[in-house]
Amino acid sequence: MTIAYVLPLIGSSRWGSHGQAVSERRRSRASVLIRASAVDDKRTHGDFSLYNTMTGKKEVFDRTVHEDGVVRFYSCGPTVYDSAHVGNFRAFLTYDVLKRWLRYRGFDVSHVMNLTDVDDKIIKRVLREGSTLEEITEKYSKLFFDDLSLLNVIPADKYPRATDHIEDIVDLIEGVNARTAPPVLPHTRFGFTSSGWLAESSSRTNSFWFLEIQV
């Protein structure tokens, strides 16, 4: 597959007259159209691989678990205590590229991205500025969505907020504590699978715990 980008010519032409610049743009666009039309459209055929951070390997995408043609994925969103920076949007753009690629391959995509709207950093900002939690989080949530729009990122289907699910979070942590001998420590990371198993891993210790939890 050939992917080509055509950048518009802005200002004076480096090749000379305005007419030459226009001609160059037309030839570039025609070239893109020709190459695109020459691609054999086999979007739903052929395997492709994604990098699995748990195994540290590239693995073939398993289509059989998406029989309805819908790929569902969750990605971590921003903590809305400040304007998002380039490093944040590197991650958000990665999700966007993945979503566009899956759609190109013929899948419908259901994407959920959380908004962390209660956090130590947010509370510190509230105290420093003398604002309310709602004022701070609404301000930076709006800036986040404005930036997503500016970058032409496809919005997620849902943006659940942490404050809307406090009881769910408490219940989950209590359930984990009740089923495991080691205490749940700060920076504990969890991942759920469709079989109802919860895998906890710590990149700092390279240790793994596996617990069976009803989810």
The H or E element containing residue 50 is strand 49-52
Please report the DSSP string for 12-28 in residue order.
S-TTSSHHHHHHHHHHH
Burial 15-34 (b: 16+ CB within 10 A, else e): eeeeeebeeeeeebeeeeee
The pLDDT, as a whole number, for residue 35 is 37
List, in order of start, the domains of the chain with CATH numbers. 1-39 (no CATH), 44-163 (3.40.50.620), 165-215 (no CATH)
Residue 115 forms beta bridges with which residues? 161
Does the pTM surpass 0.85? The reply is no
Question: For each successive 10 residues of the chain (215 residues), what is the average pLDDT?
Answer: 32 40 43 36 66 87 79 92 92 94 90 94 94 95 96 96 92 75 54 48 42 37
List the structure tokens of 41.
Answer: 């459209």
